[in-house]
Structure 1
Amino acid sequence: MNFLICLLLGFVIASLGSITPSFLNLTVVKYSLRNGKKSTFYLIAGYATVLFFQANLGAYLANILMKNSEYITLIQQIGTGILFLLSINFFRVHFSSKEKKKEKEIPKSKSYFYGILMSLLNMMAIPFYFTFISLLIGFEYFEHNLLNAFYFSIGSTIGSFTLYTLYAIVAKNIEHKLTFIASKMDFILGCLTGVVVIGNLIYLLNK
Structure 2
Amino acid sequence: MTFITCLFFGFVIAVSGSIVPSFLNLTVVKFSLKSGQKAAYFLIAGFATVLFFQANIGAYLSSILMKNSEYISIIQKIGTGILILLSINFFRLYVTSKKLKKKVEIERSKAYFHGIGMALLNTVAIPFYFTSISFLIGLGYFEYTIQNSLYFSLGSTIGSFALYSVYATVANKIEEKLAFIATKMDFILGCITGVVGIGNVVYFLVTG
TM-score by length of 1: 0.75
Specify the alignment match of 2:165 in structure 1: 165
Q: Does 1:75 align with 2:71?
A: yes
CA distance in 2, matches of 1:179, 1:126: 30
Specify the alignment match of 1:187 in structure 2: 191
Letter in 2 for 1:100: S
CA distance in 2, matches of 1:81, 1:30: 28
Specify the alignment match of 1:133 in structure 2: 133
Cα shift at 1:75: 3.0
What SS class does the counterpart of residue 20 from structure 1 fall into?
Answer: coil
TM-score by length of 2: 0.75
What SS class does the counterpart of residue 96 from structure 2 fall into?
Answer: coil
Query: For the aligned residues, what is the CA RMSD?
Result: 3.2
Q: Does 1:99 align with 2:96?
A: yes
Specify the alignment match of 2:113 in structure 1: 113
**Total equivalences in the alignment:** 200
Specify the alignment match of 1:42 in structure 2: 42
CA contact (8 A) 2:33 2:171 kept: yes
Where structure 1 has 5 or more consecutive residues not aligned to the other structure, the ranges are none
Cα shift at 1:87: 6.7
Cα shift at 1:13: 1.3
Give the % identical residues: 50
What SS class does the counterpart of residue 62 from structure 2 fall into?
Answer: helix
Letter in 2 for 1:44: I
CA contact (8 A) 2:79 2:123 kept: no
Where structure 2 has 5 or more consecutive residues not aligned to the other structure, the ranges are none
Letter in 2 for 1:186: G
